[in-house]
Amino acid sequence: MTPLRISIAAAVAAVILLLVILELIRSRRLQERYALLWLLTGLVIFVLSAWRGLLGRLSDLVGIAYPPSALFILAAFFVLLVLLHYSTVISKLSDQNRVLAQRLALLERRLEEAREGGPEHL
């Protein structure tokens, strides 16, 4: 069984994480679509730290002798998941950024041509 103090500390940390995420969404510094994975992380950690029997059973299932390590492994797994998600988001953003730069450069060139050739070329 997880020591009670570890459970309490983990549950408090999870609740703080959840509150910070909700406040970030509320103040529009975090979009809902990027918050969902974070919220899931906070919820899972909270449930497993509050429901100590479940954590114990999960640890037994995968052969972890000390249940609190299962909590940390799970937290690490979620952090990896969030990072992977961010890598895909960054890839998409850099792709879109390239397209934007190209469109802007082409537009600028067209504006130049229009200025040289008179307004009828616009």
- Which residues sit at the interface with other proteins, rule CB under 8 A? 22, 25-26, 28, 31-33, 35-36, 39, 95-96, 99-100, 103
Output 73 or 89, the one with its CB closest to other proteins: 89
Q: Which is nearer to other proteins, 12 or 100 (CB)?
A: 100
Query: Quick one: 5 or 26, whose CB is closer to other proteins?
Result: 26
Amino acid at residue number 77? F
Q: Based on C-alpha coordinates, what's the Rg of the chain? A: 24
- Residue nearer to other proteins on the CB measure, 73 or 90: 90
* Residue 24 CB coordination number (10 Å): 15
Q: How far is the CB of 8 from other proteins (least distance, A)?
A: 27
Please enumerate in sequence order all residues whose Cβ is within 8 A of that of 65, keeping only pairs 6 or more positions apart, or say none. Answer: 59
Note whether 68 and 3 are within 8 A (CB).
Answer: yes
Q: Which residues contact 44 (CB under 8 A, 6 or more apart)?
A: 74, 78
**Least separation, in Å, of the C-beta of 77 and other proteins?**
21
